[in-house]
Structure 1
């Protein structure tokens, strides 16, 4: 679906600010007219030319390299012109104004990639992977995004979709030609195929879950009573003094955030104010913010002072009970017994009050590896031998709905219900898979996806 009759768009493709080079990208049906007036002629296709960028009166705005990609052999599938000039904000502004004067308009965020999707230059997973590649915060996340951009994830989805289409074809043919003497698939064969498809869907969903972890990371809240060593733990995790560490209770009055990587897994860690009853208005505000972070966290590290708190300390556990009941009942909690160095104990992992308990020392670092490995285990994080690909929560939801539809179809088949009902479930599953790659996608979803892109992408 080429959009050659669409408006011509322009945007700065490189970051704003001063730099050695700025790249301005133009795409649309008016490229040749714009090039003739801006450059003096239409450049040779797919060939770098060093040219002057001309103003309306013929004076030179700037000089630089020009690349021309005629449709459909371009990123967007339209005629594309790239201008590589000097990276000064004034020069860039003058050049953008000149191109808009010649009939282009400023592109919306993600509009170049959106046009590439609409012109079938890439599917929706690949389009999202471009944004993921730009926003990657680890080497593993960048590699996963590149695999999705190259089509690894899409290939898995398309293969599953083709299998469902083939199975639907057999079922619907059996319904339409039931009176004909034709050998169709037997119920046992269909059941076996469905089991095989479900196993593949579960495998893909597990891979997609890893991709989502690589992209979004894990939200981790460090919570607990004052002076238990929460800030010391954050500092040791992030290897820098981001939190003030003193012997006075209630030192952390605000939420402090750090990003930490464990073998490519991004941890979005927040150090929070100590939870206790206090008359200090500033500390009360810190506690209020702490409770807000608890709601958003995927995992909670509940840090206690192992040197002073024992399992049988009824007063301490009574004070904490209301917090556990009110805020932790739907969260996964790992109890951190900190300061084992004061008791000269070894790091360990155990169970206590139905919680995982890790004994460590934030001061010496003993037990941190144990904590890292346990965090990865909690969220099922692994590096796949065949390579992870980037994925999003919408992909996981679509795969879950696909599995539900196929499971319903399998149940109906085993209960000897009509084949028409199974065919309908297969159609539903097929559509959910199509939503992932963009075969069946609403305009609202497209708008939400591409609006999160950079301008110029």
Structure 2
């Protein structure tokens, strides 16, 4: 239990009908009594009261609610003040609470206290922030599922199986005089195989949840006048970029955010890639290459009439990217060559101007990044995927230790490290630095 009492405004900045101030900590109840001059506050009962300043003058009136520990969001005594949503009034009430002994809360400190007081695990705490920042109905639904513990239950079930397997392996190591060959009887191999299957299944679901939460950085690149700006306009469904017949119209990076079947796409239109003596255009080209190198997916736009000249640019783009980043070649302006929309592998033939073939492109993007909406059962973050990948690699290495070397001690160590990786997801074993980074990204009132 924390010794300090914290206070923060829990409603968004700006004017509104109601503004909420939240207090949490050992002195929250006493501060509520001093603020209202009430003799007592009944738990979970809204009480109408006047809120008084240091001199006993009324600053505002509204409702005050008390949630007694441990039956509160943070697990501590919590008081919520519902006043009028004037920034001036809320500021006056905040100052009064500070004068009565509270301190201003850090971003995410209420959720951090809830985590530290075992009111929720780390994935549930993160889901609060993900729900607040959800960019689609699907993202909101998945965040709610994580908040309700869907993700945590799957990780906890993995850990239970892993703990049992660790115990079995440790027993095989500690009692070598037993006549039964524990390492070779097939039971450990079977349990390890089942565990790997479960980890892969959960990682697949987490990948979908991460895609929905974080989206994809999709960079549109190509030679000048290939139709890049027309393509971003077509994908966005509105005119976000200037389109002219003059090569080099786009000089700077332009960004647009869209939803593709609830998959957030962060579209980035870039300057045409060519040699140039123009200082401004050279800077735009430099920034274009920077965006390409950081992309999750690259749309390489090629004028259908210049398709025989695309090899050099394609090679240049590939050298800037890790092997796993997909590149889709888009042969644009098929309407000027009397061609129909088509697809050949990762090559799409379309007309950005008329929209012919755009649906082929959208389907190809989803295919290459492995997006499958039906599989996303909870929201997930990149750190969750990293931990799941680490656990899978360690379990695969453990299989090698078992089958090739029959090295029980090395298998036990791999299982221990895999267990730690999974525990990092829910926060059972998590460094203070990571906790600080996670909660600092929250709203102040959460």
Matches within 5 A, 1:219-258: 219-258=217-256
Mapped partners of 1:181, 1:198: distance in 2 = 28
Deviation at 1:384, TM superposition (A): 2.7
> Retained in 2: the 8 A contact 1:187–1:413?
no
CA offset at residue 419 of structure 1? 2.5
Q: Deviations over 1:321-370 (max 9, x none)?
A: 6733653575421111111111221111114xxxx210111111111111
Provide the TM-score with structure 1 as the length reference: 0.93
Residue by residue over 1:406-425, the C-alpha shift from the partner in whole angstroms, topping out at 9 and shown as x without a partner, is: 11222111135243332222
Q: Kindly state the Cα deviation for residue 173 of structure 1 after the two structures are TM-superposed.
A: 2.9
For this pair of structures, how many residues does the alignment match? Answer: 444
Alignment partner, residue 16 of structure 2: 19
Query: 2:407, 2:366 → 1: CA distance?
Result: 45
Aligned match of 1:341 = 335
Could you say if the C-alpha distance between residues 38 and 321 of structure 1 is closer, same or farther in structure 2, counting changes exceeding 3 Å? closer
Q: Which is further off, 369-378 or 342-351? A: 342-351
Aligned counterpart, 1:392: 381
Contact preservation (8 Å) 2:26, 2:76 = yes
Q: Give the Å deviation of 1:145.
A: 1.0
Q: CA offsets per residue over residues 408-454 of structure 1, 9 Å max, x none? A: 22211113524333222211111111111011111011011111111
SS in 1 for 2:354: coil
1:407 aligns with 2:396: yes
- Residue 420 (structure 1) aligns with: 409
* Aligned equivalent of 2:424: 435
Equivalents in 2 of 1:80, 1:328: separation in Å? 50
In the TM superposition, what is the alpha-carbon distance from 1:239 to its structure 2 partner? 1.1
Of 151, 154, 158, 1:153 maps to 151
> SS state of the match for residue 310, structure 1?
helix
Task: Give the 5 Å matches for 1:148-227.
Answer: 148-179=146-177, 187-227=185-225
Shift, 1:244, TM fit: 0.5
Give the aligned CA root-mean-square deviation in angstroms. Answer: 1.8
- The answer on 1:51 being equivalent to 2:49 is yes
The worse-fitting range, judged by mean Cα deviation, of 69-78 and 331-340 is 331-340
Is the alpha carbon distance of 1:40 and 1:186 closer, same or farther for their aligned partners in structure 2, counting shifts above 3 Å? farther
Contact 1:348–1:360 (CA under 8 A) maintained in structure 2: yes
1:360 aligned partner: 350
Aligned-pair CA distance for 1:234: 0.5
> Superposition pairs for residues 55-94 of structure 1, below 5 Å?
55-94=53-92
- In the TM superposition, residue 32 of structure 1 has moved relative to its aligned partner by 1.9
Structure 2 residue runs of 5 or longer lacking an equivalent are none
